[in-house]
Amino acid sequence: MSLAPTNESELAEIVAATSEPLRIYGGATKRLLGQTCHGVELTTSGMSGVVTYEPSALTLIVKAGTKLAEIEQLLDENGQRLAFEPIDYCRLLGSLGEATIGGVVACNLSGPRRIQVGACRDFLLGVRFVAGHGKLIKSGGRVMKNVTGLDLTKLMAGSYGTLGVVTEVALKVMPRPETVADIVLHDLSDGDAIRALSQALGSPFGVSGAAHVPNRKLTPLRVEGTEASVKYRLAKLADLLAPMGKAEIRLDASKVSADWRDIRDAGEFAERSGNVWRISVRPSVGPELVEILRRQLPESTALYDWGGGMIWLLVPETQTAQDTVIRQGIANLGGGHATLVRANENARSTVAVFQPMSAGIAKISAGLRRRFDPREIFNRGIMN
Amino acid sequence: MLMPVADDRILARKDEIVRLLRRAVLDGVVIADPAETKAYECDAYTAYTCAPLAVVLPNTTQEVAAVLRVCHEQGVPVVPRGSGTSLTGGALPTADSVVVGMSRMARVLETDIGNRFIRVEAGCTNLSVSKFVEQAGFFYAPDPSSQIACAIGGNIATNAGGAHCLKYGVTSNNLLGVTFVSIEGEILEFGGPFLDAGGLDLLGIICGSEGQLGIVTEATLRILPSPENARPVLFGFETSAQAGACVSDIIRSGTLPVAIEFMDRLVIRATDDFAKANYPDTEALLIVEVEGSIEEIEAQLAIIVAIATSHGAVSVRQSRSAADSANIWKGRKSAFGAMGRLGDYICLDGVIPVSQLSLVLQRITELAATYDLKVGNVFHAGDGNLHPLILFDENLPGQLEKAEALGAEILRLCVDVGGCLTGEHGVGVEKRDLMPLQFSVADLDVQMSVKEVFDPAWRLNPAKVFPLAASADRQVLQ
Amino acid sequence: MKTIFTDDQRLDPKIRDSEKIIRTCVHCGFCTATCPTYQVLGDELDSPRGRIYLIREMLQNNRSPDAKTVKHIDRCLSCLSCVTTCPSGVDYKQLIDHAREHIELTYRRPLADRTLRAVLAYVLQRPALLRWAIRAAWVARPLRRAIPKKLRSMVDFAPHSLPAASQRDLPQVVPAVGEKKFRVALLTGCVQKVLDTAINDATISLLTRHGCDVVVAKGAGCCGALSLHLGRSSESRKAAEKNVEAWFAEIDGRGLDAIVVNTSGCGTVIKDYGLIFRDTELAAKALRVAKITKDVTEFASQLDLSVAANSNIRVAYHSACSLQHGQQVRHEPVDLLAKAGFVVVEPNNAHLCCGSAGTYNLLQPEISGELRRRKVATLEAVTPQIIAAGNIGCMMQIAAGTKVPVIHTVELLDWVTGGKRPEKLRGFAIELPE
């Protein structure tokens, strides 16, 4: 049985009264992310609905349990969208249920547009949450710029529920462009592909997605905007990338959108078994890292997003010490981080799911958790 | 403004502390002569002044760490300082504090065009970063008006914005990593030349922390490809309300310009004298900038001009050349300084929902009239970030207090309509005691507890951000 | 910025002016970004904003300043880059001149410093003496170790050779070649005509060949800039008075269309004569003189300079501070050089001073040397064949740090319009097209 408070004061009472750790979730779509974690189940899905939506101010305030799909539909009806394009983890993790905005915030989700516009944190204007002592706290607000006090809002994004239970979020929404199209390069080696993507991302032509799928030797680049603008920029990109061989321009918006959803969700790995890692490094070292990891972890497969800056890596479960190999490889190439996104329960309780931190940073992180959640009741152990 | 009483025990040990500081910095500068420390008694917020015990200008991160170790061991408060361009007293010293200035740390450490980042020391000016990557066709997006002089370290401390953040975001959206020195003198790395470091978003909390958590000595910044073309357009309006309503409609239309800036008549006149930007002689002015290919610019402008016309724009002037654009922006960016030609002023930084612009501008006019003070308005209209400039005469007794009281009322109004006290200048000392307008005791307690994780003894940048009353008990407890 | 002056203090018109200037400063700090000494030293006290603070304290306290205050004010180059940058319109030029005068009147410098300044002020304005002094420096050079450190820079900076005095620099009227269109006076100055006679010669050649009668007025001499920047305002005024009288006699007599100045450091001060002599009997005359004073490139812009063919010689233009900040003359020299067929390039950080700044390189050799190093690096980075500048001080300063020939703008203009090939190009394979 899950606890499902329907408003902030109910939630605050539960938190203040509990003597057990709480396992917090929204739509239960990302329960397999993070280290294994147990506790009394508490869902925020009972707190849902739009609080304020002002399209002319690009502002949306919703309760944390509001379903992401509902939000996306509402925005779509008003010609707007969440620009950070949060990944839908259901496919990769095989989870049922529907994602809530609270979960999106807690995991600081993003998608292929990360490189152009940012992640959830970059659009999060404010949050309300219940902290470990059972008090309701607000941070940020609803306006576009805000440096009033310390930015707890950023801290809450990506904290996996370990600092407090988010009850309400204010988001900056953006106009939805008229259309989307892409240009796809074929048959490039990883190295050439990443060079092509970097060149395109260094151009002024507004590339809003830059991926490389080694298995299918496809290297798509996405542009969005008005129809005339998209055509113009695709032509410019085609010129720029002409030395990379034949480029295919695709103008069918629904097909292009579907393919980019697939890239966003690492769809290629959804049906295949194995552990999935999410690796972030400086783009130019991506191919070299993958080359090394393929050698050291045979039968691994990579997908590149963010112009090569983010790598999805599928590794057979049987590869031992894969965390060490991956993290050593990253460290040798100038640093970055790796997160184990999909693995069985055993791996998730023995392997460090998140990139281990330096002692100094670990000390600060632990200190912050102690202040927000002195009794360690929120998603205990999920991040360490 | 109430400031904490200087610790006599520190003042008494000045010679000893200065000796230790001199040992901590090999080639750096230590300034301790009262004739010289006086020049460090304030930043661009001059209403309150206090010379520090000493000023240190280190040359390296290691020297910063050595200086902080001395201060930590000696129990001396530390005031970090970039270029001293804060409009809120962010670098206002206390008499028992050591100012750590970053001005000699202004080197570019690494430029990586392929991976679109640059790593610089915190004393680099904002504009110099863009200049450095300009030849390669890139720029650094946050562009506070003081960008010619303000330091990246200060930008990070205040999460600085600027005119173009409507499209490109503020500092926190363009900051990839920092090298940071804790109050204990430990050197820590947060983030790096890659996105989304794992773990808690500590970079996110450091950005905008106004020197409360530590000193940023180096920063890795995201750089972006420069647009093909950019064109500012000037729209003149007969009333501020018309201009305000126009902004809201431009945003609703789905065309998102790079910048939408507002100036009223008082500011237009002051700035045009300096910049020769040929602004229209109207009650209110909007500068709207759009980017892209010439065709894209024309298409966006067609929509925007139609909206402006429907709101009664009496003049429309597109920039004719790069030099013309430069002058248009020069005027806007020097507006605060140019207002100095008219007298002393306090510059506010409240933010409101864009939909409330007309209403709030009207209320500001009414409030100014009741206080019998002049208020000029120049601000980032696209994101509702107001900068009312309250004019007064600093040499006349009582005027500063009166101007501050009006400022507080305007900021209260911002909060009441759903906004906040500060969008990009920071709280500093200026708005420290207004924080309860926006935050509950519990909200502030959590923020202060975050500070204490980094700075348990409250040594860093004393008397800023948190109301003295709220922090007093905690400081005793710690 | 707030000020606290007593009514008694305000009886002094200079205090009144300075208070007004300080009150316009909003302490925004923009000036720090373009101040050369702040770029080198990184200390607020060595920036205009810090100096304004020091000056305010010094004037408010109304007593002899302390050594530290003097040190930081002395370090100011008076390049006036801050004046270009300042959005509030702070008249830093007037303020720093007042401060220097105040220091000179109330502060007793250490002996070596006093000697150096007195010698400089005396010798530099007297061409015959200067020639003699430079020869003396050649003799002293082997003995430099025996010379007090403060004075050593004088020996170090003395040029290695001297041209013979030019007859053209004597009072006379050089008539226009062909039809006369203008009658102009030329300031032949003091230091320049000792160190580099080619500049005045080229100026006279260019102007006369383009229809100007050129008057070297009797009685005109040093403009007073050197002593002004040493804080010796009464000496400076004496020199300036002579010029006002000499040129006004010409204006009043056969008339002048312009007073042409080819040393921009001097031009800046002469253009200020109106301000310097306001409230005196000379006010009206000085204002007339100031009003028709033009940098040679400003004046040459209205002449129709005809060039046979583009030379494609790559010229880096160094903008002297006195020209770009002091007189706000920026595009004229560049436009003229470009129209004259040169490929004109400008260095990065063109707004920063080269470190010459009158006697600054003699008084502050370390900072000056660092500024030269930086300036030469940015100039050489644009790979010029020739560096052009409009001020003798900058030319000497830059030439001491580079092998690229440094030539006055007017010499280049004279050359390509049919004048003499600059002597400074001897040994370089840089030629005009046939």
pLDDT tens readout for residues B179-205: 999 999 999 999 999 998 889 999 999
* C-alpha B20: how far from chain center: 33
* Residues whose CB is less than 8 angstroms from the CB of residue C406 and which lie 6 or more positions away in sequence, other chains included: C318, C386, C387, C388, C389, C395, C398, C399, C424
How confident is the model over B147-176, as a mean pLDDT?
Answer: 95
CB contact under 8 A, B172 and A110: no
Would the CA dihedral through C287, C291, C292, C294 be positive or negative? positive
Residue B337 amino acid letter = G
Would the CA dihedral through B20, B25, B27, B33 be positive or negative? negative
- Name A279's bridge partners: A311, A338
Phi/psi for C407 (5° steps) reads -135, 145
C144 C-beta neighbours (distance < 10 Å), count = 15
Q: Which of B462, B464, B451 is nearest to A371 (CA)?
A: B451
Task: Report yes or no: B84 at the C interface, CB cutoff 8 Å.
Answer: yes
CB contact under 8 A, A154 and B444: no
Q: ipTM of this predicted complex?
A: 0.96
How confident is the model over B272-285, as a mean pLDDT?
Answer: 89
Rounded to 10°, the helix C409-416/C197-209 angle is 40
Per residue in B7-34, pLDDT tens?
Answer: 999 999 999 999 999 999 987 799 999 9
CB contact under 8 A, B46 and C27: yes
Per residue in A83-136, pLDDT tens?
Answer: 999 999 999 999 999 999 999 999 999 999 999 999 999 999 999 999 999 999
Radius of gyration of chain C (CA): 21
* Residues whose CB is less than 8 angstroms from the CB of residue B445 and which lie 6 or more positions away in sequence, other chains included: B470
Q: What is the DSSP letter of B2?
A: -
> Which residues in chain B are closer than 8 Å to A282, comparing Cβ atoms?
112, 115, 117, 193-194
* Chains touching chain C, criterion 3+ CB pairs below 8 Å: B
3-state helix, strand, coil in chain C (%, to 5): 55, 10, 35
How confident is the model over A29-51, as a mean pLDDT?
Answer: 95
Asked if residue C142 lies in contact with residue C180, where contact means CB atoms within 8 angstroms, the answer is no
> Which residues in chain B are closer than 8 Å to C72, comparing Cβ atoms?
36
pLDDT band of residue B2 (cuts 50, 70, 90) is confident
Per residue in C225-256, pLDDT tens?
Answer: 989 989 898 999 999 999 999 999 999 999 99
Asked if residue A348 lies in contact with residue A340, where contact means CB atoms within 8 angstroms, the answer is yes
3-state secondary structure of B208: coil
> Which residues in chain B are closer than 8 Å to C38, comparing Cβ atoms?
103
CB contact under 8 A, B337 and C86: yes
Per residue in C330-353, pLDDT tens?
Answer: 999 999 999 999 999 999 999 999
Residue-level pLDDT at C144: 79
pTM for the predicted model, two decimal places: 0.95
- Name A136's bridge partners: A130
What is the distance between the alpha carbons of residues B366 and B372, in angstroms, rounded to a whole number? 10
How confident is the model over B375-386, as a mean pLDDT?
Answer: 94
Residue tagged 């069985």 (tokens): A344
> Tokens representing C332?
């004229």
What is the distance between the alpha carbons of residues C201 and C166, in angstroms, rounded to a whole number? 8
How confident is the model over B277-290, as a mean pLDDT?
Answer: 94
> Tokens representing C89?
């319109």
What is the distance between the alpha carbons of residues A358 and B380, in angstroms, rounded to a whole number? 40
How confident is the model over A227-241, as a mean pLDDT?
Answer: 96
Residue tagged 């998603």 (tokens): A379
pLDDT band of residue B477 (cuts 50, 70, 90) is low
What is the distance between the alpha carbons of residues C258 and C254, in angstroms, rounded to a whole number? 12
A and B in touch (3+ CB pairs within 8 angstroms): yes
How confident is the model over C374-403, as a mean pLDDT?
Answer: 96
* Chains touching chain B, criterion 3+ CB pairs below 8 Å: A, C
Shortest Cα distance from B396 to chain A (angstroms)? 31
Pick the residue from chain A with its C-alpha nearest to B182: A360
Task: Report yes or no: B286 at the A interface, CB cutoff 8 Å.
Answer: no
Instruction: Using the predicted structure, report yes or no on whether residue A234 has a pLDDT greater than 80.
Output: yes
How confident is the model over B146-174, as a mean pLDDT?
Answer: 95
Residue-level pLDDT at C170: 87
Residue-level pLDDT at B72: 97
What is the distance between the alpha carbons of residues C242 and C226, in angstroms, rounded to a whole number? 15
* C-alpha C378: how far from chain center: 21
Task: Report yes or no: C351 at the B interface, CB cutoff 8 Å.
Answer: no
pLDDT band of residue B478 (cuts 50, 70, 90) is low
Strands (E), B199-321: 215-222, 224-225, 230-237, 259-264, 284-291, 315-318
Percent of residues, chain A, with pLDDT higher than 90? 96
Per residue in B320-329, pLDDT tens?
Answer: 899 999 989 9
What are the angstrom distances between the C-alpha of A245 and each of A71, A187, A190, C236? 41, 9, 14, 74
* C-alpha A270: how far from chain center: 16
What is the distance between the alpha carbons of residues C145 and C147, in angstroms, rounded to a whole number? 5
How confident is the model over A28-36, as a mean pLDDT?
Answer: 92
Per residue in B215-241, pLDDT tens?
Answer: 999 999 999 999 999 999 999 999 999
Per residue in B73-113, pLDDT tens?
Answer: 999 999 999 999 999 999 999 999 999 999 999 999 999 99
> Which residues in chain A are closer than 8 Å to B423, comparing Cβ atoms?
143-147
**Interior angle at CA B271, CA B270 and CA B275, nearest 5:** 140
Task: Report yes or no: B85 at the C interface, CB cutoff 8 Å.
Answer: yes
| Residue C123 or B55, more confident | B55
Q: Which of C58, C124, C174, C162 is nearest to C363 (CA)?
A: C124
How confident is the model over A64-78, as a mean pLDDT?
Answer: 98
What is the distance between the alpha carbons of residues A64 and A161, in angstroms, rounded to a whole number? 12
Shortest Cα distance from B420 to chain A (angstroms)? 7
Task: Report yes or no: C107 at the B interface, CB cutoff 8 Å.
Answer: no
Shortest Cα distance from C336 to chain B (angstroms)? 19
Give the max Cα distance, chain C.
71
Which helix or strand (DSSP H or E) is residue A72 part of?
Answer: helix A68-77
CB contact under 8 A, B44 and C1: no
Least confident interval from B162-176, B266-280, B361-375, B405-419 = B266-280
10 Å CB burial of residue B22 (0-12, 13-18, 19+) is middle
Q: Which of A222, A272, A190, A225 is nearest to A111 (CA)?
A: A222
Q: Among partner residues A141, A151, A204, which is closest to B228 by beta-carbon distance?
A: A204
3-state secondary structure of C229: helix
What is the distance between the alpha carbons of residues B273 and B293, in angstroms, rounded to a whole number? 32
CB contact under 8 A, B395 and C2: yes
What is the distance between the alpha carbons of residues B260 and C281, in angstroms, rounded to a whole number? 54
Task: Report yes or no: B359 at the A interface, CB cutoff 8 Å.
Answer: no
Cα separation of the two ends of chain C? 61
- Name A310's bridge partners: A280, A305
Phi/psi for C201 (5° steps) reads -60, -45
CB contact under 8 A, A122 and B169: yes
Q: What is the DSSP letter of B385?
A: B
Would the CA dihedral through A259, A262, A266, A269 be positive or negative? negative
Instruction: Using the predicted structure, report yes or no on whether residue B445 has a pLDDT greater than 90.
Output: yes
How confident is the model over A38-45, as a mean pLDDT?
Answer: 96
Q: What is the DSSP letter of B454?
A: H
Instruction: Using the predicted structure, report yes or no on whether residue B1 has a pLDDT greater than 80.
Output: no
CB contact under 8 A, A148 and B420: yes
Asked if residue A188 lies in contact with residue A85, where contact means CB atoms within 8 angstroms, the answer is no
User: Helices marked H in A5-109 — which ranges?
Assistant: 8-17, 68-77, 90-93, 101-106
Per residue in A328-344, pLDDT tens?
Answer: 999 999 999 999 999 99
> Which residues in chain A are closer than 8 Å to B255, comparing Cβ atoms?
175
